[in-house]
Amino acid sequence: MTRLPPPEVPDLDALEARFQESFRAGRAVDLDVLGYGEITSVVAWPIAGGSRVACRRLPEFPTEQARTAYREAFDEYLGELYERGIPLLPMTFHEYDGHAGRPVAYLLQAAMPVEKNASVVLHQMGEQAARRLMEQVFGYTAQVVTEPWLGFDAQLSNWSVSGEELLYLDVTPPFLRDRNTGLLKVDTGIFAASLPWFLRGPVQRWLAPSIMAEYFDLRILLINFLANLIKEDAERWIPAGIEIANKFVSPAVEPREVVSYYRKDAVMWEVLQRLRRADRWWQLRIRRRSYPVLLPGRISRRQLLKARIRGESPPE
């Protein structure tokens, strides 16, 4: 597989200034948000020649050791995915002294057209093409999750469609465990950084390990993918998806498992978002402090999908 060239580095000082303005306002200010994730949001930023770079601003790391461990795990994880033939859209790690002299880390990647995201393209496919897409995703996932120390996130929105080929977009969390101890190579504090302070400890200790463990289990990963079809308003492809998934895993995936996983995930996501919104209000209105996380507005998946198809940014 030929590696694509790395993305050009934009003006990070200007981008960081825009992020800081957005954090003070509690919303995206003149930022073209491509998507909201559990760890970081993705924004498009212009570079010379009229192109754009997809930029992910990582949360502040609790220690320099945690930041170094993330950088090393990120590089190692990319190498593992390349070795297993995953068609990666190159992503690079950049760090510089940003706001208040504290190091700021960004992950940079070429900005792919929103209309090429697999979550959009799937709605325009016939049965044969949809089956081929799912076969490709499940096959790539099975190529990665072959060892207990290597994980993957196969969900539909992490892929871009280029002709009949796929490009994998998001390696923000490096799903790597130490081969000797079985412990994650990345400090789980980064996954709890966007939560209210009183939840970070319990989530980091009790919830994050169980959530992360799912990304190292091929069967659960495929159930996760199928459950996300409900979120993406693409339920009609679930029966075909289950049929294809059962070529890769045993025991066979059953429809009730997909629905159960979706319900569990939807409840957890809604609770976390309510807590984040409450924390944002507290920080901005009561403590008069900036809130260093961009949150999506109250919007249904169906509305979000329509915005993607129209090529619009997710509504605030």
Residue 272 domain flag: yes
Its domain, for residue 66, covers 62-88+113-285
Q: pLDDT tens-digit profile of 122-173?
A: 999 999 999 999 999 999 999 999 999 999 999 999 999 988 889 999 998 8
Q: What is the mean pLDDT for each group of 10 consecutive residues in the chain (316 residues)? A: 76 93 95 86 89 92 84 95 95 82 87 93 95 98 96 95 91 92 84 77 78 94 97 95 98 97 91 90 94 78 48 50
pLDDT digits (tens, 9 = 90+) for 182-199: 989 987 777 777 778 788
The verdict on residue 221 lying in a domain is yes
pTM score above 0.85: yes
Going from the C-alpha of 210 to that of each of 10, 110, 113, 206, the distances in angstroms are 37, 32, 34, 7
Structural domains counted in the chain: 1
In a domain, 156, yes or no: yes
Token pair 């070795």 in the structure block, residue: 83
Report yes or no on 13 lying in a domain.
no
| Within-domain flag for 302 | no
Q: Could you tell me if residue 162 is inside a domain?
A: yes
Residue 253 burial by CB count (10 A; 0-12/13-18/19+): exposed, middle or buried?
buried
Residue 192 pLDDT: 75
Joined tokens for residue 234: 């693409």
Q: What angle do CA 248, 264, 135 make, to 5 degrees?
A: 20
- Quick check: 123 and 236 in contact, CB under 8 A? no
- Determine the pLDDT at residue 1: 53
**Domain presence at residue 50:** no
Residue with tokens 């799937």: 122
Q: Is residue 249 part of a domain?
A: yes
Residue 14: Cβ-neighbour burial (10 angstroms; 0-12, 13-18, 19+): exposed
Determine the Cα–Cα distance for residues 152 and 216; give it in Å rounded to an integer.
7
